[in-house]
Amino acid sequence: MKKYFGTDGVRGIANEELTAELAFKIGKSASYVLKMHNHQFKEILIARDTRISGEMIESALTSSLLSMGLNVTLCGIMPTPTLAWLTGKHETVGFMVSASHNPWMHNGIKIFSNGYKLPDDIEEEIECNLDKTSKAGPSVGKIVRVDMLPSYIEWIVKRYKDLAGERLAFDLANGAAISTVPLVVKEIGIKATIFNDKPDGKNINEKCGALYLDFMKEAIKNTDAAYGIVNDGDADRCMMIGKDGHTIDGDDIIVVNALSMKKEGRLKNNTVVGTVMTNLAIEEYLKRNEIQFLRTKVGDRYVLEKMIETGSNIGGEQSGHVIFLDLETTGDGLVTALESVRASKLMKIDLKGFSLGMKRYHQILENVEVTDKESIMNDHEVLDFIKKTQRYESLRIVLRPSGTEPLIRIMVEGKDKAIVRKVVDEAKEIIERVKDSGKIHKS
């Protein structure tokens, strides 16, 4: 089991859990392990979001990589997907300093190689080498100062020039999207209203962004925008808001783009990849349109793995992480937004109306805070409860440990709203009881 790396890199409270010392060790160990596995290096790229702790962690990583004889390009504030795209374009490795949707006091480190997140076994190996001394020899690397953004901006603008004149509102969550969205919309000619683009180091994701849609639901009413585009702190996810405040989530976005891609002849293997959290109505809708739907564990890395395995080119999560594998190897909130606006034009549909037209199963998502996620998930009382829920017709329950927080996440879905609510409450009660008793009954 990995101690530091979760489903989305290393994450923790900055200067308490994710310290400069730990960041230094991660950089040094990662460079050693990646060299052992023959990963290609030119200059190592380091980017960050807008958190106040970003420069501290960036400096620690930089020092560790320089000490291993590697040159480092400091990219500054940049979205995670932009860094991933650049590592693919330049065939190198990149370190992203971000905690995505988490509050400002958290931070994290994600590592990309040639466009892809590192696989689990490489992350485990990095952990195993954290406390081992590794020397690069007498050579010391240098910092390379080059503006890396223009090539990404140029690629985006060239692809979406046909969206000139579109009216859109953007909530940048006071995060990394401040470095890309204003430039892209200006170059394309999109008439954009931009909110939450003034980070102060502590206001990232604060009552704004993809986990706080209420801001855009109200703000869009005072604009002439057709849709509101909402990012998270590192800008890899996209949620959309209709003019009247209706939420167009990742499920909606995946379906409308799958239909558009099928119409264009671009949908590879006629397949879409989602997760266990994807609403069952989405799967049924796609099947009615003769599109295969596959599920994975929660986490964009698992979606990507299944996409590569099956040769498909669209997949994602209800939370707004959507991957267009023929364009990028990660979810990109800006690309997702522009692809979705283009799809709505191609299909000649309003995204809000399309979303409302898909009758969803009732789905409730809630969390229980715990200290020992693994033990709770293996407790026989919890497992027995999950089995007992099978007596309900047309009901799905997913209990899973959060990959980034000390939480057990509960998802219950079904046709009968009252039963869904009842099962959620029972699940919470059992987890709280097991947690509070301190007696975990292993199955």
Task: Determine which one of 31, 100, 319, 340 is catalytic.
Answer: 100
With contact defined as beta carbons under 8 Å apart, do 382 and 376 qualify?
yes
Strands, E, within 8-105: which ranges?
9-13, 44-48, 72-77, 93-97
What does the buried/exposed string (b/e) look like for 398-417 if buried means 16 or more CB atoms within 10 Å of the residue's CB?
Answer: bbbbbbbeebbbbbbbbeee
Let me know: does 238 contact 322? Beta carbons within 8 Å.
Answer: yes
E strands, 235-383, are 238-242, 247-248, 271-275, 292-296, 314-316, 322-324, 362-369
Pair of tokens at residue 369: 């805070």
Rounded to 5°, the CA angle 290-254-91 comes to 115
What sign results for the dihedral spanned by CA atoms 418, 419, 420, 422?
Answer: positive
- Residue bearing tokens 């980034």: 404
- Which of 96, 122, 116 has the alpha carbon at shortest distance from 35? 122
- For the chain, the first-to-last Cα distance in angstroms comes to 19
- What does the radius of gyration of the chain's CA atoms come to, in whole angstroms? 22
Catalytic, 443? Answer no
Q: Which residues are catalytic?
A: 100
